């Protein structure tokens, strides 16, 4: 029976980075992955969706560029080629992760892994072929899966391909004429954005009274306005009642309506994927399927860690990366701990949305005394130069008692690329006077943050 210092179960962002860092730290490491390295993020999430969204953006630029002095005649969109390019990108990056594992000396086991128990020799893990491995430590990184609510007709719809999750919809080679999206969160909005941008009739059905979850309400309104202009329909405060062979039946204000469609995207959230891992065999505590962890990513069982979506903290790839670093640092005796307060989030729609920290409402709910400043992106010269009539803005939230920035929220071009700087401003807890000394390159859209700081 082969013995390792660490076995990582799951090869997604948290899993493969944990394996890489552990091996670099001198631990003999194996990673067990039942599908392809890279997990949901690389194979059926972050990377594939951004590939599609970039193609849609290029198409929109080709068809809506007259005001910039560019006219493109006969522009057309080939969804099948887009999917082929997506597959090429994914293969390349998955191969890259594999190369990193090989270069680092990590043993990759392409199979399922189940924890059988623990004895004096360590934790015992068995793969689907019956091969057993032992390790002094385990890192659970099994990710998450699409939540499938108990909606009548949804399972039947999935069986015949009418209802799809994020996994199946990314492999469609033919565009539907009409798409119904159940769920107005990040996954639903990004996919709705893609399909609406290339001519599909899209309706988003959301049970809450706003889209995008905890995202700033003003941003949500701008996003809805932009996509309503492009023909997307939003049905808020609506509860899906059941799925028929050709429609989604939903309830609004006590009455039932039918949303006819050729395809349904089920984007009603995600849940930790921890069933069948064997956590119960060693007594790991879970809550609603999520592995319970502390600030060092330790579970209640000594030597067992959990990183990424499976712990249910923040289901974001960059969160998983940081959690992996914290977990491995603890294994290696390096002082470190996980903080979730200022982890940024991005919605890669067009326009982009990026946020970090508190909104005014959430800050005040925590008892903070805050000041909020909101400025249109027109304050940034580059934004005006590159956008025709854009209505993006930046909003900052400042804790007046503690003299620190506690939130930044942006909708507009390059939002995803500059939010890390805002996150650092919040995380550093520097006083406002020091933040004002930062020099922003000109002309950049990021200067909007500086403008907001000087309005506080």
Active-site residue set? 442
Extract the tokens encoding 91: 């293969």
What is the chain's length? 456
DSSP characters for 389-405? Answer: S---EEEEEEETTTTEE
d(Cα 450, Cα 82) in Å, to the nearest integer?
Answer: 38
Query: Which residue pairs, CB below 8 angstroms and at least 24 apart, start in 155-163?
Result: 156/243, 157/243, 157/245, 157/264, 158/266, 162/243, 162/245, 162/246, 162/263, 162/264, 163/243, 163/264, 163/266
| Closest of 293, 252, 224, 230 to residue 57, by C-alpha | 230
- Give just the sign of the alpha carbon dihedral 271, 46, 159, 143: negative
Non-local (6+) Cβ contacts of 404 within 8 A are 398, 426, 429, 430, 431, 432
| Closest of 236, 181, 185 to residue 214, by C-alpha | 185
Rg (C-alpha) for the chain, rounded Å, is 23
């Amino acid at each position: 029976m082969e013995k390792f210092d660490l076995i990582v179960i799951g090869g997604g962002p948290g899993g493969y980075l944990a394996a890489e860092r552990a091996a670099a730290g001198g631990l003999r490491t194996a990673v067990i992955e039942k599908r392809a390295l890279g997990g949901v993020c690389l194979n059926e999430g972050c990377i594939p969706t951004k590939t599609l969204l970039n193609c849609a953006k290029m198409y929109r630029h080709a068809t809506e560029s007259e005001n910039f002095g560019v006219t493109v005649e006969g522009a057309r969109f080939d969804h099948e080629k887009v999917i082929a390019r997506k597959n090429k990108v994914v293969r390349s990056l998955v191969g890259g992760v594999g190369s990193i594992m090989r270069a680092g000396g990590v043993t990759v086991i392409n199979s399922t892994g189940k924890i059988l128990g623990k004895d004096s020799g360590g934790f015992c893990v068995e793969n689907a072929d019956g091969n057993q491995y032992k390790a002094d430590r385990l890192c659970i990184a099994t990710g998450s899966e699409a939540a499938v609510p108990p909606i009548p007709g949804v399972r039947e719809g999935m069986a015949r391909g009418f209802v799809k999750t994020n996994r199946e919809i990314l492999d469609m080679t033919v565009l539907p004429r009409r798409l119904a999206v159940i769920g107005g969160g990040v996954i639903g909005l990004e996919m709705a954005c893609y399909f609406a941008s290339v001519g599909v009739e899209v309706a988003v059905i959301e049970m809450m009274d706003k889209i995008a979850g905890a995202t700033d309400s003003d941003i949500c309104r701008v996003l809805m306005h932009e996509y309503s202009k492009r023909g997307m329909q939003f049905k808020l405060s609506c509860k899906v009642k059941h799925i028929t062979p050709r429609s989604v039946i939903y309830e609004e204000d006590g009455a039932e309506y039918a949303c006819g469609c050729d395809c349904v995207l089920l984007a009603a959230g995600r849940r930790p994927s921890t069933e069948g891992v064997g956590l119960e065999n060693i007594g790991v505590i879970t809550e609603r399927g999520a592995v319970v962890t502390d600030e060092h990513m330790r579970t209640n069982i000594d030597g067992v860690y959990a990183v990424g979506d499976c712990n249910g903290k923040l289901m974001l790839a960059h969160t998983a990366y940081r959690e992996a670093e914290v977990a491995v640092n603890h294994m290696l005796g390096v002082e470190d701990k996980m903080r979730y307060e200022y982890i940024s989030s991005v919605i890669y729609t067009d326009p982009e949305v990026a946020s970090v920290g508190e909104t005014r409402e959430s800050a005040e709910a925590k008892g903070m005394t805050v000041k909020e400043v909101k400025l249109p992106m027109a304050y940034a010269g580059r934004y005006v130069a590159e956008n025709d009539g854009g209505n993006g803005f930046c909003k900052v939230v400042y804790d007046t008692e503690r003299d620190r920035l506690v939130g930044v929220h942006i909708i507009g071009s390059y939002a995803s690329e500059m939010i890390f700087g805002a996150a650092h401003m919040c995380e550093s807890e520097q006083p406002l006077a020091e933040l004002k000394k930062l020099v922003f390159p000109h002309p950049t859209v990021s200067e909007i943050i500086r403008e907001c700081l000087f309005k506080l």
